[in-house]
Amino acid sequence: MRRVPRSRSGAEPVKVDARSERWREHRKKVRAEIVDAAFRAIDKRGPDVSLREIAEEAGTAKPKIYRHFTDKSDLFQAIGKRLRDMLWAAIFSNLDFAADPTREVVRRSVAEYVSLVEQHPNVLRFMLQGRFPEQSESTQRALNEGREITMAMAEMFNNELREMELDPAALQLAGAATFGSASAATDWWLGPDPDSPRRMPSEEFVNHLTTIMLGTVKGTAELLGIQLDPDRPIHAAVPLRAAAG
């Protein structure tokens, strides 16, 4: 009699249900298609888009959306995750923290962010302004997805300077501050309505936002006792006492 192999724990192996796996993949695909449709609907109709309009753009009915998302909050958070993933791919595929000057790391990150805002201005308005009554909590949850990027960058700064044993709370605070500054600045730059003109050219906005972000980075470094030359890689920073000596 052929014996069924057991796991190291001695338990019977878990059999993968092929039908269940196909259903999970199908649900994942449909969720992604609905998020795609939400992007298109918001881009076309502005931040006041309704769930019915999103359903129409997806070529389906509202009840089907609720079969794939638990509620509006779930859909809003999925939109936030999509934005995060798009920005994550754009930023981290083009940066080398070990070799790039700090100024270039910040400038390129800001430029990629502003490029994404220009591609989907109404989606950013939708997330930042929280037009739906149900959106206040879900907007915060969705924005938390974006905050993960600044926190990841703070951790990368910490890794480059790990021998200095910096206060992680201070770096996390700097990450939160840069995220908040970028969100508020974007809301100001876009203006309140879809037909609002940009309040300055995009290249100028990138320059200003880079200066603001870099100021936070340098200021935090000084508070932590570090001299950071923005025109050199992050790991070239030195303790202020050593620099004075």
pLDDT at 82 over 80: yes
165/127 same-domain check: yes
118/232 same-domain check: yes
Look at the chain and report how many structural domains it folds into. Answer: 2
128/229 same-domain check: yes
Q: What pLDDT does residue 212 have?
A: 92
pLDDT at 196 over 50: yes
* Domain end (from 69, 93, 111): 69
26/135 same-domain check: no
Amino acid letter for position 117: V
92/190 same-domain check: yes
Q: How many residues does the chain have?
A: 245
pTM of the model: 0.77
Of residues 56 and 8, more confidence is placed in 56
Over residues 147-163, the mean pLDDT reads: 67
Q: Computed from CA positions of residues 82, 87, 93, 98, in that sequence, does the dihedral angle turn out positive or negative?
A: negative
61/91 same-domain check: no
Tell me which of 79-88, 123-132, 201-210, 223-232 is least confident.
Answer: 123-132
Of residues 114 and 141, more confidence is placed in 114
Q: Is residue 168 part of a domain?
A: yes
41: closest CA among 27, 23, 62, 26?
Answer: 62
135/43 same-domain check: no
Instruction: Tell the burial category of 112 from Cβ atoms under 10 Å away from its Cβ (0-12, 13-18, 19+).
Output: buried
Q: What pLDDT does residue 130 have?
A: 59
62/84 same-domain check: no
Is the CB of residue 157 less than 8 Å from the CB of residue 149? no
Q: Cα–Cα distance between 97 and 106 in angstroms, integer?
A: 10
133/34 same-domain check: no
CA 40 from chain center: how many Å? 19
Q: Is residue 129 part of a domain?
A: yes
The answer for residues whose C-beta is within 8 angstroms of residue 126's C-beta and 6 or more apart is 42, 47, 49, 79
Q: What pLDDT does residue 78 have?
A: 87
61/94 same-domain check: no
For 227, phi and psi rounded to 5 degrees? -95, 115
In order, the DSSP letters of 141-155 are: HHHHHHHHHHHHHHH
Q: Cα–Cα distance between 187 and 22 in angstroms, integer?
A: 41
96/176 same-domain check: yes
Encoded tokens for 123:
């989606």
Q: Which of 10-19, 41-50, 232-241 has the highest mean pLDDT?
A: 41-50
Over residues 100-114, the mean pLDDT reads: 90
The CATH number linked to 128 is 1.10.357.10
Tell me which of 95-99, 112-116, 196-200, 212-216 is least confident.
Answer: 95-99
User: In the chain, where do the E strands start and end?
Assistant: 226-227, 238-239
Q: What pLDDT does residue 133 have?
A: 47
Q: Is residue 130 part of a domain?
A: yes
Q: Is residue 5 part of a domain?
A: no
The CATH number linked to 23 is 1.10.10.60
Domain with 32, as residue range(s), is 17-69
* Domain end (from 69, 92, 112): 69
62/179 same-domain check: no
